[in-house]
Structure 1
Amino acid sequence: MNYLHTMVRVKNLDDSIAFYKLLGMRELRRNDVPAGKYTLAFVGFDDNAHGQAEIELTYNYGEDDGYEVGSGFGHFAVGVPDVAAACEKVRAGGGKVTREAGPVQHGTTVIAFVQDPDGYKIELIQR
């Protein structure tokens, strides 16, 4: 068994894909289903055929006002070589940095938090 993906609903597929590209991900595949009135786009660093989990971005036709993130969802986590540089790339691309790069409270691991166009949080962890 292996972990395949996490699905989130998005209000603008192109904006969401552009954001995740700022983190070094790429669009792996897309499936438009007009009969079901939705489009799926999978983003990640490599496809899950190679053991990498993906994020499934789901756009439901006509749902352009967005969705509530919900109180149960926490965040995605992405390992990066330089958290401060990743924050600058997100900021330069029009993204939102919600916690600047720095050590985790009571520890030494360098982290930051950024937010995608739909309000989903992504923790950047220096590796």
Structure 2
Amino acid sequence: MPITYLHTMVRVKDLDASIAFYKLLGLVERRRSESEQGRFTLVFMCPPDQADGHADVELTYNWDGDEGLPSDSRHFGHLAYTVDDIYATCRHLMENGVTINRPPRDGHMAFVRSPDNISVELLQAGDRKAPEEPWASMDNTGHW
């Protein structure tokens, strides 16, 4: 029985803050739908070169709020993306107020969190980069 990955859904408390976070990662809005009857908005975001719908993150925003958000969400696991330059990506995120929870000390992997505490793993595409400061000596912040 074949199976095809469709998307990952995460609930968000502040739709605008979440969209801004995923845009900082380089994702673009692929489509959006709103349900007046269900009182929710769905925003599908993806890497610009993967707009076929098979790499989507579905941001689900409930209009009447969700008092359980943001919780630790560690039970969710994480989203993972490869990036062309892990150091430049982390620098860009930091310059825009994102905490690097697990810095890319090894030139290969970093973790950050969305405004809704969704853990996002960033992996260097191809070979790992040589260790570089300030990342090589930067401590973890919080958890991922």
What TM-score do you get using the length of structure 2 for normalisation?
A: 0.76
**Matching of residue 29 in structure 1 with residue 41 in structure 2:** no
Q: Deviations over 1:8-32 (max 9, x none)?
A: 1000111111101111100111101
Q: Check conservation: 2:73, 2:118, Cα contact below 8 A.
A: no
Alignment partner, residue 116 of structure 2 = 118
Q: Check conservation: 1:12, 1:64, Cα contact below 8 A.
A: no
C-alpha displacement of 1:69: 4.5
Structure number having the greater strand percentage: 1
Runs of at least 5 residues in structure 1 that lack an aligned partner in the other structure: 104-108
1:43 to 42, 45, 50: 45
C-alpha displacement of 1:67: 3.9
Figure out how many residues of one structure are paired with residues of the other and give that number: 120
Cα distance in 2, alignment partners of residues 26 and 69 from structure 1: 26
C-alpha displacement of 1:85: 1.0
Cα distance in 1, alignment partners of residues 22 and 77 from structure 2: 17
Question: Which one has the largest radius of gyration?
Answer: 2
Corresponding residue SS for 1:72:
helix
Cα distance in 2, alignment partners of residues 91 and 124 from structure 1: 14
Alignment partner, residue 106 of structure 1 = none
What TM-score do you get using the length of structure 1 for normalisation?
A: 0.86
Alignment partner, residue 133 of structure 2 = none
Cα-Cα RMSD: 1.6
